[in-house]
Amino acid sequence: MATSSAMSTVLGLLLAIIFVCTPGLVLSGELTTAEVMAAVSPSDWRSPEPGNLIYMQLPQGVVVMELAPGFAPKNVANLKTLVRERYFDGLAIIRSQDNYVVQWGDPAEDEEKARSIGSASATAAAEFFLAADETEISAIDSRDAYADIVGFADGFPAGSDGERSWLTHCYGMVGVARGSELDSGNGSSLYVITGHAPRHLDRNITLAGRVISGIEQLTTLARGTGPLGFYETAAEQTPIVSLRMGDDVAAEDQWDIEILRTDTAAFADYVKSRTFRHEEWFVDPTGRIDICNINPPVRVAK
Amino acid sequence: MATSSAMSTVLGLLLAIIFVCTPGLVLSGELTTAEVMAAVSPSDWRSPEPGNLIYMQLPQGVVVMELAPGFAPKNVANLKTLVRERYFDGLAIIRSQDNYVVQWGDPAEDEEKARSIGSASATAAAEFFLAADETEISAIDSRDAYADIVGFADGFPAGSDGERSWLTHCYGMVGVARGSELDSGNGSSLYVITGHAPRHLDRNITLAGRVISGIEQLTTLARGTGPLGFYETAAEQTPIVSLRMGDDVAAEDQWDIEILRTDTAAFADYVKSRTFRHEEWFVDPTGRIDICNINPPVRVAK
């Protein structure tokens, strides 16, 4: 994210000062985030597969999402079909509800003039959770309000009760909108979490990925004034120029994206540094953390 | 908030349908939020004191904040002095960091041309927490990541460890920016939480109130591209037309604001309805809640 890299710059400067002035801090094992990030090695980063990335071109800029086929294989497959067949090009962002979600799709979805979904399926099975043994969560030490176990799986925030595991509705997570029928979502309308994590949605709707760059293109949109933040007129909607799978983007236009792995010792150090806050500003470092306050660092070169 | 009232409208319609079709739901005691809200009585609402409200006039609209003198008496008093002496008029919003904060104050704060703070104090004591017996928290049933006890005090979200009680950094909370010295905040620069609750700030900085209307005027601002989301040029900043204490606003311009009390049986029912989610859409109502996912309903007539 833009803010992460900006913060990294500042923290890097702070690190330089701290390291020069008080090298003992480093030896104590009580590392700040800047110190942890300065120590990560190239192998602590991963490059997401281009075939799992969606580039969303809006008039004001680009949003990049990483998909989570490990948790929602059927929904992700249907979504990829829609993207590859250019279903979304020319559709619109239809909703922005403050402290909740931004949503896009076909404004004419329920009308005669609705766009054909082509060879995609009209419905996709509910993929609200996996059996716990179908995925591996790198657990963090957190007393979570909603889940007995929380951590990261496939690089995404996840929760578990020991029997079922699911992706958690943290800021930036991308979900498959549905109506009242559980399989009524098919990927043709997606939402992004843009406020405090609405974790009560966990296990009630399919999450399919996360925004990894450009979320500010969505979060700064004017809020819709209709019920639930839907825009009341077409003029208020933001047109979608295009959605493209990363491997359909010309090589020279693909971004060089790296995300900190979430299953490494370096990431555990990162989480620890976010939990204990050894930066000098903090007078009462909490020693506690919420899964949605951990945002795996992203590096983007455009 | 605008979204709450919009949602109320929709939920009200849903309620009408549910109530007509399935009156048994009401008798079961398993109430939806719409059902709870339809049953609250006039005495379940409170009208905040105009002398505890700040009206912030921006070019694009108005933001209204309610102050929390019970938790931060010295900082609130200093802030009121600044507002009444019109310190903020013509200053600017200087920072918007995605998923974190919007902040305003004097862009020239550290320069020769900085505006005088008039008769306000240059520093205000750190008011990061109270002794637990200095306030009363109406506790909710929640397993909180950051605090042993959470609930509401004076209408604001709060946490406690049994010895100390403090306001929690939920979405919309307003804080007093500070430097590295604990008493370096004086109210001349304020921030509003605009993302997932950064609860690690709890007990590290003084919270002084909450935005109760118009937060979308702040959350939709373009993000700053400088370190920590600060704007890099004056042109990117949003000018502040004025800040006024509510009782300095002409009577005909004051808004009729009501907030659901947080120490009533009706509010307990409201929290229960947000915890168990009996709306038909939910297939797996969580039965759990996070303090920052409870936003006491606000009714505004302008």
The first and second tokens of residue A71, run together, are: 């948790």
**Residue A267 C-alpha, separation from nearest chain B C-alpha, in angstroms:** 19
Query: Angle at the Cα of A193 (from A251 to B291), degrees rounded to 5?
Result: 150
- Asked whether the beta carbons of residue A98 and residue B219 sit closer than 8 angstroms, the reply is yes
Mean pLDDT calculated for residue range A35-51: 97
What is the rounded average pLDDT of the residues B26-34? Answer: 72
Averaged pLDDT score across all residues of chain B:
91
- Phi/psi of residue B36, nearest 5 degrees: -60, -45
Q: Which residues 139-168 of B have a C-beta within 8 angstroms of A?
A: 142-146
B235 pLDDT above the threshold of 50? yes
Query: pLDDT tens for residues B240-280?
Result: 999 999 999 999 999 999 999 999 999 999 999 999 999 99
* pLDDT of A229 higher than 60: yes
Q: What would the pLDDT profile of B132-154 be if each residue is shown by its tens digit?
A: 999 999 999 999 999 999 999 99
Mean of pLDDT values over B217-227: 98
Q: How far apart are CA B210 and CA B64, in angstroms?
A: 9
pLDDT in tens, B114-126: 999 999 999 999 9
How large is the average pLDDT for residues B193-214?
A: 98
Spatial strand order in the sheet of B130-131? B130-131, B164-167, B156-160, B149-153, B138-139
For A120-172, how does the pLDDT look when each residue is reduced to its tens digit (9 = 90+)? 999 999 999 999 999 999 999 999 999 999 999 999 999 999 999 999 999 99
pTM of the model: 0.91
Q: Cα–Cα distance between A153 and A129 in angstroms, integer? A: 12
pLDDT of residue B286: 87
CB contact under 8 A, B200 and A142: no
CB proximity B216 to A under 8 Å: yes
Give percent of chain B above pLDDT 70. 90
Tell if the CB–CB gap between A1 and B98 is shorter than 8 Å.
yes
* pLDDT single digits (tens) B32-57: 999 999 999 999 999 999 999 999 99
CATH code for the structural domain at A50-256: 2.40.100.10
The sign of the torsion formed by the CA atoms of A243, A246, A250, A252 equals positive
Q: What pLDDT does A27 receive? A: 37
Phi, psi of B274 (to 5 degrees): -80, -20
| Sheet containing strand A61-67, strands side by side | A238-239, A92-97, A101-105, A190-193, A173-176, A206-213, A61-67, A53-58, A242-245
Residue A116 has pLDDT above 50, yes or no: yes
pLDDT category, A29, cuts 50, 70, 90? low
* CA dihedral of residues B149, B151, B154, B159 (deg, nearest 10): 40
Does residue B215 come out as left (phi exceeding 0), alpha (psi in the -120 to 50 range) or beta? alpha
- Give residue limits of the domains in chain A: 2-45+258-301, 50-256
Give dist(CA B175, CA B169) in Å, integer.
Answer: 9
pLDDT at site B301: 86
Task: Report CA-CA distances (Å) from A256 to A46, A84, B11, B216, B290.
Answer: 11, 21, 45, 33, 37
**Which tokens hold the place of B277?**
């989610």
Cα angle B298, B301, B302; round to 5? 125
Task: Identify from A96, A99, A165 which residue to disrupt to test chain B contact, counting B C-beta atoms within 10 A and taking the largest count.
Answer: A99
Out of A97, A98, A284, closest to residue B204 by CB:
A284
Q: How far apart are CA A70 and CA A81, in angstroms?
A: 17
Across B119-251, where does the E strand assignment appear? 130-131, 138-139, 149-153, 156-160, 164-167, 173-176, 190-193, 206-213, 238-239, 242-245
